Amino acid sequence: MIKPHGAETLNPLLITSTDELSAAQHEAETLPSLLLNSAAAANVVMLGGGYFTPLTGFMNLTDALSVAEKMHTVDGLFWPVPILNMTDDVSEIEGAARIALRDPNVEGHPVIAIMQVEHIETATSEELDTITQQVFGTKDTAHPGVAVFANLGNKIVSGPIQVLNLSYFEHDFDGTFKTAVEIREEIAAIGWEKVVAFQTRNPMHLAHEELCRMAMERLDADGCVIHMLLGKLKAGDIPASVRDACIRKMVDVYFPQNSVMVNGYGFDMLYAGPREAVLHAIFRQNMGATHLIVGRDHAGVGDYYGPFDAQAIFENEVPDGALEIEIFAADHTAWSKKLNKVVMMREAPDHSPDDYVFLSGTKVRELLSEGIAPPAEFSRPEVAHILMEHYRANP
């Protein structure tokens, strides 16, 4: 099986021993505490589940700047996005060697982790601008990821952590949320060797389904993991529970049994385009995938990135040997009226735009809101039914 990133074995930071967890919970109640923001809490969950192997906790300012500018830590670990715990108020934890990190997304703000504090640093506006520009490619606060980052604060609290729980994901998405450890174990148990991962934050329409099928066939893969984001999205995106239902229905009806796993991970979407695509590759390698589908505008938003920037970064900026996972570079897929099937557009040079079935996201939402299923060339009827029920209940 493919090795984890930068390590021989996974490094999940979640405490699994009952005795150790009990001791940590008792200690946490004696410690000064910091209420995390949602972005930092999501980082805790990813660290806890082994997705961010080989990291042991939150980066300091020096590493964050190095990662932003050079895509590696000071010690040379290849990494595309700073993993930070940022806040605007450290008055409750100043001088503390160990602190309890509290979960902002669960009622009562229970302790989610304990941190060994190595540094509490203040980032200058210039340093924050550097991180923003390098990671997101823009400082425009109309960009949803930039808007979130700009409001996290300028204090950076760094150090290794021990994770006590995986927030609301374990309970709200029971059966779908899986750690990298669990997915890797499941892949090993099934005996898959060549594994394709498909990233999604949306329900999957017919073109997405066919893209997974194309990748599996062309790579001669043993299986595919459809790996959906379960954390915070931007306003207007489809809730995770609805996406989950849509994807499971599609897999149950249209894929051979035991050829596709449907799982999810607990992270807040960054919308960071190319840099986030590389991060996606790292944690898919950690969960055991050998290939990641990177399509048009992967992890992008609006017009901030070119349609294939997320593929180009792997060719032009990721050093040789930095990753073991490989990329399946995909073009935009759509239904061809000429060929009566879904095709990658670059593979149909004789087609004009009129030869495809295209529907904008706005048009699809209008149809679904009116109780009208999109055409079968765009969406499976079973998936459309679930989405229509969602829009009917949430006009």
In this predicted structure, what is the pLDDT of residue 365? 85
Q: List Cα–Cα distances, 333 to 198, 229, 267, 271, in angstroms.
A: 14, 21, 27, 21
Distance between the two ends of the chain, CA-based, in angstroms? 46
Tell me which of 3.10.400.10, 3.40.50.300, 3.40.1390.30, 1.10.357.10 is the CATH number of domain 18-167. Answer: 3.10.400.10
Do 232 and 269 form a contact (C-beta atoms < 8 A)?
A: yes
For tokens 């991060």, what's the residue?
Answer: 279
Of 19-23, 242-246, 258-262, the range with the lowest mean pLDDT is 242-246
Average pLDDT score over residue span 103-129 = 98
Does domain 175-265+271-393 fall into CATH 3.30.750.24?
Answer: no
Band of residue 364 on the pLDDT scale cut at 50, 70, 90: confident
Q: Which tokens hold the place of 103?
A: 């979960």
In this predicted structure, what is the pLDDT of residue 134? 98
In this predicted structure, what is the pLDDT of residue 202? 85
Q: What does pTM read for this prediction? A: 0.95
Separation of alpha carbons 161 and 159, rounded Å: 7
In this predicted structure, what is the pLDDT of residue 73? 98
Is 202 marked active-site? yes
Say whether pLDDT at 395 is over 90. no
Q: Which residues, in sequence order, are CB contacts of 212 under 8 Å at separation 6+?
A: 196, 198, 224, 226, 260, 293
Of 49-63, 185-199, 235-249, 279-293, the range with the lowest mean pLDDT is 235-249
pLDDT in tens, 6-51: 999 999 999 999 999 999 999 999 999 999 999 999 999 999 999 9
- From the list 11, 43, 154, 202, the catalytic residue is 202
- Identical fold for domains 18-167 and 175-265+271-393, yes or no, is no
- From the list 98, 154, 201, 248, the catalytic residue is 201
Q: What percent of the chain has pLDDT over 90?
A: 91
Separation of alpha carbons 207 and 71, rounded Å: 33
- Using CA atoms in the order 52, 204, 272, 109, what is the torsion angle rounded to 10 degrees? -60
Domain spans, the chain: 18-167, 175-265+271-393
